[in-house]
Structure 1
Amino acid sequence: TLTTPTATADRSFAVAVHPLLASAPRLAGLMAGRPGRIIAVTSTGARRVVPRYAGAGIAKAALEALVRYLAAELAGQGITVNAVSAAKLDKGDGSMPAELAKTLAARTPGGRLTTPEDIADVVSLLCADEAGWLQGQILTVDGGLGLLAG
């Protein structure tokens, strides 16, 4: 049985999808006549099943679909739309159980968990002129964790 109450899914959509959906026309207007970038942040839970993450996962999947649609709609205006996808983040605040953090870090080829700074670095790369031809892409930033089976 599906264990995600409708209210949880509704909140997840309100947080993950609605802000970009509502602001995209205004953002495009603000960038009119010059190149621009719109970058969303998503999670690997959009494409992989994560326990107790159904509401957020389906909302993130919808966000990724929205990125693709906006990319196609805004490309002619010189605006790129992409997303950065992260696995479990090490926020450095102790919010993740230590044993889970240790296990995930050991499974990551990069040898550690993804940090908010890792995400910010990739967002910065997407803002570079050289990334101007990337359109509608979801870049996974996980130190290689998603490469490994199991």
Structure 2
Amino acid sequence: MGDRPLMGKVALVTGGSRGLGKAVSRRLAEAGADVAVNYFRNREAAEHTCAEIRELGVKAEPVKANVADPQKLHLLFDEIAEKFGGLDILIANAASGVIRPAMELEVKHWDWTLNVNARSLLLMAQLALPLMQKRGGGRIVSISSLGSHRVLDNYTAVGVSKAALEALTRYLAVELAPHDVVVNAVSAGAMDTDALRFFPNREDILQTAERRNPAGRLVTVGDVAEVVAFLCSDASWMIRGQTVVVDGGQSLLI
């Protein structure tokens, strides 16, 4: 890719103010994109991320929305159209979920997890398409995890939601191709981020992942952000409906 292959593009990164989302927001900005940094609760973190991004010479604005709420998503995309004039790139990164064994899950746990992690991608794709069509096409990249096809402790609801996200990615890739919208997903290996703080065996997950990784280290948010940026570039035009695994080979040994 060139130095700034995304110059003039507008990107929305959901959950874009911290952890992996922040790394992706910054990487897209480094590539030249203006960035709408979505957050749900922590506006201070979003403002801080936007301030860092503006130092790269591009536009950045914090945009609040709970991606599980259809009405809030409509307002979010209206706000992006007003503040940025359109949308070229959608990064579906925001995630949540209940970490419990299957036999302990309640309906509300299931619905919340599926709505945040999978249904939101469908709704956002529907809302993003008109904005992308006005700009000649676009890119949608969603963030998945190895639990979509591997059994991880207490990961039932999240794993199923990520499997649904990957399936939806394939369907969207075909349906949106005539509109020049390219759709893919990235599945990240274990990373040392705040997302793991809800796991009671967090330290064991990280130590095992590092010890057993053929690459000799943990995956970093920078590793994943680099692949996301590539999937948003013209160089990835012929990659469609794929879930690109970024785990240093960890899943080969699970």
User: TM-score normalised to the size of structure 1?
Assistant: 0.90
Superposition deviation, residue 29 in structure 1? 1.0
- List per-residue Cα deviations over 1:24-75 (Å, max 9, x = no partner): 1221111115131000001110111111000001111111111111111001
Identify the match of residue 85 of structure 1 among 187, 191, 203: 187
Aligned counterpart for 1:36 among listed residues 138, 163, 175? 138
- Provide the secondary structure at the position in 1 that maps to 2:136: coil
Match of 1:103 in 2: 208
Q: 2:153 matched to 1:51?
A: yes
Any idea what SS the aligned residue of 2:245 has?
strand
Between 104-113 and 94-103, report the one with greater CA deviation: 94-103
- Select between 51-60 and 2-11 the one with higher mean Cα deviation: 2-11
Residues 96-147 of structure 1: CA distance to partner in whole angstroms, max 9, x if unpaired? 7444322210100111111222111110010111101111000001011011
One of 108, 119, 126 as aligned partner of 1:25:
126
SS in 2 for 1:111: coil
Partner of 2:117: 16
The alignment yields a C-alpha RMSD, in angstroms, of: 2.1
Hey, what's the Cα distance between the residues in 2 that align with 1:38 and 1:16?
15
What 5-or-longer segments of structure 2 have no aligned partner?
A: 1-100
Distance 1:116 1:14, change over 3 A: same
Q: Which residue of 2 aligns with 1:64?
A: 166
Q: How many residue pairs are counted as aligned between the two chains?
A: 149
Identity between Structure 1 and Structure 2 (%): 40
> Is structure 2 residue 247 aligned with structure 1 residue 142?
yes
SS of residue matched to 2:208: helix
Residue 87 of structure 1: CA displacement? 2.1
Superposition TM-score, scaled by structure 2 size: 0.55
Distance in 2, Cα, partners of 1:121 & 1:64: 20
